[in-house]
Structure 1
Amino acid sequence: MIGGGFSGPKMGNLTADNSSSNCTIDHTIHQTLAPVFYITVLVVGFPANCLSLYFGYLQIKARNELGVYLCNLTVADLFYICSLPFWVQYVLQHDHWVHSDLSCQVCGILLYENIYISVAFLCCISIDRYLAVAHPFRFHQFRTLKAAVGISVAIWVKELLTSIFFLMHQEVMVDKDLHRVCFEHYPIQAWQRRINYYRFLVGFLFPICLLLLSYQGILRAVRRSHGTQKSRKDQIQRLVLSTVVIFLACFLPYHVLLLVRSLWEASCDFAKSIFNAYHFSLLLTSLNCVADPVLYCFVSETTHRDLARLCGACLAFLTCSRASRAREAYPLDAPEASEKSGAQAEDPELLAKLHLAALQAPGAPGVGGSPMGGLA
């Protein structure tokens, strides 16, 4: 990965730049640690984000603009998760990229863009909740589905245009062991420093300031509100607090070390001294794909009910499957089976009722959920 501005998994003996000089760094520990991180994110994050995409759709169907931001956040995570099998293969083969140069650039961009698209949409979620709580009537035009879609398109276009910058540079090089390394530059190059400063200031520092100001404003507005139920206040505070925690835990260490490298990394010795800490912080950014689905738990009161209904339906399906296998193993026309359970003849009807009850839980609403922004 780009040793300065952005970096994917980096584990091998690397060339320092496009010149003949070499900067050899031992990546052995990361060839063990990185696969664990990436496989965990792949196994846990893919189903979690697929489920989150479904709940985001329910929010959009309920005319909740927050669902637009959450769906875009999930799509960015899924794009990155789809690139993880390539990175796992890369690190397990001791930093040898066996695919095309273009695929290296695309996979690297997916990692890089996931960081900054996630940052942008986490910021949008906090600002949207701030406007909903502190100014529910003054800025209503910014809290519509149309406005959310427009803002989302602008974020994607901005980041995709930035990614073109990386397509203009060669990112696959051959190290001294004849391995094709992907997005590896040590020490970082001059062009990387410039893009790193931009990413730190515009992609991270500016959004985090907006996010923290929004969170402070939300807390102040919630405390002053006397017409809002305590449960709804707690719900809003948990949503924004979880957004801040995800933001800081996943992205702060990486950007601090990114700035340190951009300011002071000028030699191979410095690159070696900071390598382990920098790459561990990079791995933390991947956990964002697992943490983001947690936000859906705090979107609306109906999210928990929708999840309970879905779990109930799955449980009913599994129960039906087990009962069917049991009947195949012990046919009802067998003497023992007919003697042991005369009531089993009622099972199909009973299971049908159980399935129906799971899909129509008492008090469960239709699809979707009420927006959290409509506070008194």
Structure 2
Amino acid sequence: MGTVAADNSSLNCSVDHSIHQMLAPAVYVTVLVVGLPANCLSLYFGYLQIRARNELGVYLCNLTVADLVYICSLPFWLQYVLQHDNWSYSDLSCQVCGILLYENIYISVGFLCCISIDRYLAVAHPFRFHQFRTLKAAVGISVAIWAKELLASVYFLLHREVVEDDHRHRVCFDHYPLEPWQRGINYYRFLVGFLFPLCLLLAAYRGILRAVHRSHGTQQSRKDQIQRLVLSTVVIFLVCFLPYHALLLVRSIWESSCRFAKGIINTYHFSLLLTSFNCVADPVLYCFVSETTHRDMARLRAACRALLTCSRTGGPREAYPLGTPEASGVKSEEPELLRKLHSTSQTPNSPGGGGSPTAGLA
């Protein structure tokens, strides 16, 4: 069990998938159990950011929607691996689930990059580039990212993605060795989908760290918080996406024989499973780290406790208007951490202390 025969000209390559069938169920169940509620909360808090006229909320919501759409496809992949890599649905459903699996990587990368650049502009250039830090601009950029990835996914619909192995199992989205059409799209995915955004992300966060170090009015604890967020984001980005894209490039350049495919396939499948943990990491990094989110979560917990108490006692329920920006603790379009940093870069002659620069960014 667990082998696939690739219908690739005269080659008949049987590859062992046993390690994939052992690891994938555990990974998919973990992402479902942890990622689904975490992303639902992330979507709620991103909505609160949008209500507060914060463009970061647009990127957060789009990032969360991309994760949730991928999570919805995991039951199909879970059934697939539990049936020893036998796709029991239609060929079109295989293509759609494969597109959701792979394109979620690049949609996530795109919005992570947008969040990085937005935070760099907010910290390093709080009084410039205002036109790029509005809700309208964020919506336009989000539409462009989705359109780009959906158009790229059409390429996969033009090719057959279901083949039969030597056990007559219908294998979905696996070709060994790679077919010629796959090499070109893999180079595009590596260069445009991963390497270019990674360079932008590293450049943006280098600028953030330099701006933090130059700020003498910010408390050391707040500087440390920014630096931990920067480091955590880069580390998770590299852990989730770098191994997969490195092996994708290696396969595209050197995989021309069945022997090579057999030697790399287990490592390749492990790196692909790592990308799924991005759905768990995203809400932790970009939703639960801000002080406004901590206050929202505290109010949400208080509301839940009040509802449970009232349901047991039968008493009246206290209203918690969590849907309003005032009740959620979101008082401006910037997280409090960045507002504190903005105030340090205000010129000495600026009126109103540290309040007016933040208000001017809305």
Distance 1:168 1:70 in 2: 32
Q: 39, 46, 49: which is aligned to 1:56?
A: 46
Q: 182, 195, 212: which is aligned to 2:172?
A: 182
Task: Determine helix, strand or coil for the equivalent of 1:63.
Answer: coil
Indicate if the aligned counterparts of 1:116 and 1:203 stay in contact, CA closer than 8 A: yes
Distance 1:84 1:254 in 2: 19
Give 1:78's aligned residue: 68
TM superposition shift of 1:246: 1.8
Q: Give CA deviations for 1:129-188 in whole Å, capped at 9, x if unaligned.
A: 000011111211111111111111111111111001111101011122111111110001
Instruction: Work out whether 1:168 is the aligned partner of 2:158.
Output: yes
TM superposition shift of 1:17: 3.1
Distance 1:315 1:215 in 2: 39
Instruction: Tell me the matched-pair count.
Output: 335
Give 1:99's aligned residue: 89
Distance 2:125 2:31 in 1: 37
Q: 1:59 to 1:234 in 2, by over 3 A?
A: farther
Q: 1:239 to 1:71 in 2, by over 3 A?
A: farther
Task: Determine helix, strand or coil for the equivalent of 2:143.
Answer: helix
TM superposition shift of 1:107: 0.3
User: What is the aligned-residue identity percentage?
Assistant: 77
Give 2:353's aligned residue: none
Give 1:333's aligned residue: none
TM superposition shift of 1:67: 0.8
Task: Determine helix, strand or coil for the equivalent of 1:24.
Answer: strand
Q: 1:164 to 1:114 in 2, by over 3 A?
A: same
Q: 1:208 to 1:40 in 2, by over 3 A?
A: same
Distance 1:232 1:117 in 2: 30
TM superposition shift of 1:29: 2.3
Q: Which sits farther off after the overlay, 223-232 or 178-187?
A: 223-232
Indicate if the aligned counterparts of 1:309 and 1:360 stay in contact, CA closer than 8 A: no
- After the TM superposition, which residues 40-51 of structure 1 pair with which residues of structure 2 at under 5 Å, given as runs? 40-51=30-41
TM superposition shift of 1:226: 2.7
One-letter amino acid matched to 1:258: L
Q: 126, 137, 146: which is aligned to 1:147?
A: 137
Structure 1 unaligned segments of length 5 or more: list them: 1-10, 324-346
Give 2:252's aligned residue: 262
Indicate if the aligned counterparts of 2:295 and 2:329 stay in contact, CA closer than 8 A: no
- After the TM superposition, which residues 235-246 of structure 1 pair with which residues of structure 2 at under 5 Å, given as runs? 235-246=225-236
Structure 2 unaligned segments of length 5 or more: list them: 344-362
TM superposition shift of 1:44: 1.1
Distance 2:252 2:119 in 1: 34
Q: 1:140 to 1:356 in 2, by over 3 A?
A: same
Indicate if the aligned counterparts of 2:124 and 2:207 stay in contact, CA closer than 8 A: yes
One-letter amino acid matched to 1:14: V
One-letter amino acid matched to 2:327: G
TM superposition shift of 1:356: 3.5
Give 1:367's aligned residue: 328
Distance 2:56 2:74 in 1: 28
Runs of 4+ in 1 over 4 A off after TM superposition: 229-232
Indicate if the aligned counterparts of 1:142 and 1:148 stay in contact, CA closer than 8 A: yes
One-letter amino acid matched to 1:151: I
Indicate if the aligned counterparts of 2:6 and 2:165 stay in contact, CA closer than 8 A: no
Q: Which sits farther off after the overlay, 233-242 or 266-275?
A: 233-242
Task: Determine helix, strand or coil for the equivalent of 2:7.
Answer: coil
Q: 1:61 to 1:234 in 2, by over 3 A?
A: farther
Distance 2:65 2:229 in 1: 19
One-letter amino acid matched to 1:209: C
Instruction: Work out whether 1:191 is the aligned partner of 2:174.
Output: no
Distance 1:165 1:129 in 2: 34
Provide the TM-score with structure 2 as the length reference. Answer: 0.87
Indicate if the aligned counterparts of 1:187 and 1:268 stay in contact, CA closer than 8 A: yes
Q: Which sits farther off after the overlay, 89-98 or 292-301?
A: 292-301
- After the TM superposition, which residues 1-376 of structure 1 pair with which residues of structure 2 at under 5 Å, given as runs? 12-19=2-9, 21-297=11-287, 300-321=290-311, 323=312, 348=314, 352=316, 356=318, 359=320, 365-367=326-328, 369=330, 370=332, 371-372=334-335, 373-374=338-339, 375-376=342-343
Distance 2:256 2:30 in 1: 34
**Rg bigger for which structure?**
1
Indicate if the aligned counterparts of 2:164 and 2:171 stay in contact, CA closer than 8 A: yes
Structure 1 vs Structure 2 CA RMSD: 2.1
Q: Give CA deviations for 1:263-318 in whole Å, capped at 9, x if unaligned.
A: 11111111111111111000000000011111234563211010011112222333
Task: Determine helix, strand or coil for the equivalent of 1:366.
Answer: helix
One-letter amino acid matched to 1:81: I
Distance 1:312 1:305 in 2: 11
One-letter amino acid matched to 2:151: L
TM superposition shift of 1:231: 4.9
Q: Which sits farther off after the overlay, 127-136 or 26-35?
A: 26-35
Distance 2:177 2:161 in 1: 14
TM superposition shift of 1:15: 2.1
Q: Which sits farther off after the overlay, 137-146 or 222-231?
A: 222-231
Distance 1:142 1:299 in 2: 24
